[in-house]
Structure 1
Amino acid sequence: MVNATDRDTATEYEQVRASIAARFTNPLDLPKEIFSDTSVYREELDRIFYGPYWHPVAHRAELGEVNSFKTTWLGEVPILVSRGADDRIRAFVNTCTHRGTLLEQRAVGVAEEFQCPYHRWLFNSGGEFCGAPGEREFRSDFDRKDYALPELRVSEIAGLIFVTRHPDTPLLEAFLGECADPVRDCLLDDGELTLLGYQKVVYKTNWKTYFDNDFYHAPLLHTGFRILGWQGGKGDVRITQPTGHFSVGYQSTPYVDNGYLADPSVVQFRGTDDRARVVALRPVTVLTKHVDTINIRFARPRGVDRTEVSYAFFGHVSDTDEYRAHRVRQASNLLGPSGFITIEDAAVFNRQQMTATDGTLARFVKGVDGCPEDATQNDEIGNTVGWANYRKVMGFDH
Structure 2
Amino acid sequence: MSTTDRRTVETETRVDFVWPAKDFSRVPYEVFSDEKIFELELDRIFRGPVWNYLGLECEIPNWGDYQTTWVGNIQVVVTRAKDGSIHAFENSCAHRGARIVDNVRGNTKRHTCPYHLWTYNLTGELTGVPFEKGHNGKGGMPPCFEKGDHNLKALRVATHGGLVFGTYDNAVEPLEQFLGEHSLSQIERLLGKRKPKVIGYLRQKIPANWKLYNENVRDPYHASLLHMFHITFGIQTPAMAGGIKMDGDAKNSWNHSILSEDDHLKRSALSDDYDELGKWQKDLKMHDPSMLEVPLDLNDNYKTTILSMFPTLIIGQVDNTYAIRQLRPKGPNAVELHITYLGFEDDTPEQLHNRMLSVNLIGPGGYISLEDGEALRRVQEGVVSRRGEHSVLAMGGIGELRDTDHLIQEISIRGFWKHYHKLMKFPEAGQQQNDKRGAQ
TM over 0.5: yes
| Candidates 387, 390, 408, aligned match of 1:361 | 390
Name which one, 1 or 2, has greater alpha-carbon Rg.
Answer: 2
| Candidates 298, 302, 324, aligned match of 1:296 | 324
Letter in 1 for 2:394: V
User: Are the aligned partners of 2:305 and 2:318 in contact in 1 as well (CA < 8 Å)?
Assistant: yes
Question: Does residue 309 in structure 1 map to residue 331 in structure 2?
Answer: no
Residues 281 and 6 of structure 1, relative CA distance in 2, 3 Å threshold: closer
Residues 7 and 147 of structure 1, relative CA distance in 2, 3 Å threshold: closer
Question: Does residue 172 in structure 1 map to residue 201 in structure 2?
Answer: no
Residues 113 and 379 of structure 1, relative CA distance in 2, 3 Å threshold: same
Aligned to 2:48: 51
Unaligned runs of 5+ in 1: none
1:207-218 alignment to 2 at 5 Å? 207-213=210-216, 214-218=219-223
Take 2:319 and 2:59, find their aligned partners in 1: how far apart are those partners?
Answer: 22
Question: 1:269-292, CA deviations, whole angstroms, 9 ceiling, x for partnerless residues?
Answer: 242434231101111221101222
Take 1:252 and 1:337, find their aligned partners in 2: how far apart are those partners?
Answer: 26
- Report the TM-score, using the length of structure 1 for normalisation: 0.91
Q: Which has the higher contact order (CA 8 A, sep 6+)?
A: 2
Residues 350 and 22 of structure 1, relative CA distance in 2, 3 Å threshold: closer
Aligned to 2:356: 328
Question: Does residue 78 in structure 1 map to residue 106 in structure 2?
Answer: no
Residues 190 and 63 of structure 1, relative CA distance in 2, 3 Å threshold: farther
Question: What secondary structure is seen at the aligned counterpart in 2 of 1:43?
Answer: helix
Sequence identity percentage:
29
Aligned to 2:209: 206
| Candidates 263, 269, 273, aligned match of 2:288 | 263
User: Are the aligned partners of 2:229 and 2:367 in contact in 1 as well (CA < 8 Å)?
Assistant: yes
Letter in 1 for 2:251: G
User: Are the aligned partners of 1:25 and 1:397 in contact in 2 as well (CA < 8 Å)?
Assistant: no
Take 2:243 and 2:375, find their aligned partners in 1: how far apart are those partners?
Answer: 26
Question: Does residue 351 in structure 1 map to residue 378 in structure 2?
Answer: yes
Aligned to 2:276: none
Question: What secondary structure is seen at the aligned counterpart in 1 of 2:123?
Answer: coil
Aligned to 1:13: 13
Unaligned runs of 5+ in 2: 135-140, 265-281, 429-440
Question: What secondary structure is seen at the aligned counterpart in 1 of 2:191?
Answer: coil
Two-structure CA RMSD over aligned residues (Å): 2.6
- Report the TM-score, using the length of structure 2 for normalisation: 0.82
User: Are the aligned partners of 1:367 and 1:375 in contact in 2 as well (CA < 8 Å)?
Assistant: no
User: Are the aligned partners of 1:234 and 1:376 in contact in 2 as well (CA < 8 Å)?
Assistant: yes
Residues 148 and 190 of structure 1, relative CA distance in 2, 3 Å threshold: farther
1:133-148 alignment to 2 at 5 Å? 133-137=130-134, 138-148=141-151
Residues 396 and 373 of structure 1, relative CA distance in 2, 3 Å threshold: same
Aligned to 2:433: none
Question: Does residue 241 in structure 1 map to residue 238 in structure 2?
Answer: no
Take 1:174 and 1:267, find their aligned partners in 2: how far apart are those partners?
Answer: 37
Question: What secondary structure is seen at the aligned counterpart in 2 of 1:295?
Answer: strand
Question: 1:303-362, CA deviations, whole angstroms, 9 ceiling, x for partnerless residues?
Answer: 01111111000111111133223212321x111122111110011101100122213211
Question: Does residue 387 in structure 1 map to residue 417 in structure 2?
Answer: yes
User: Are the aligned partners of 2:18 and 2:427 in contact in 1 as well (CA < 8 Å)?
Assistant: yes
Deviation at 1:24, TM superposition (A): 5.0
Deviation at 1:296, TM superposition (A): 0.4
Residues 136 and 328 of structure 1, relative CA distance in 2, 3 Å threshold: farther
User: Are the aligned partners of 2:328 and 2:337 in contact in 1 as well (CA < 8 Å)?
Assistant: yes
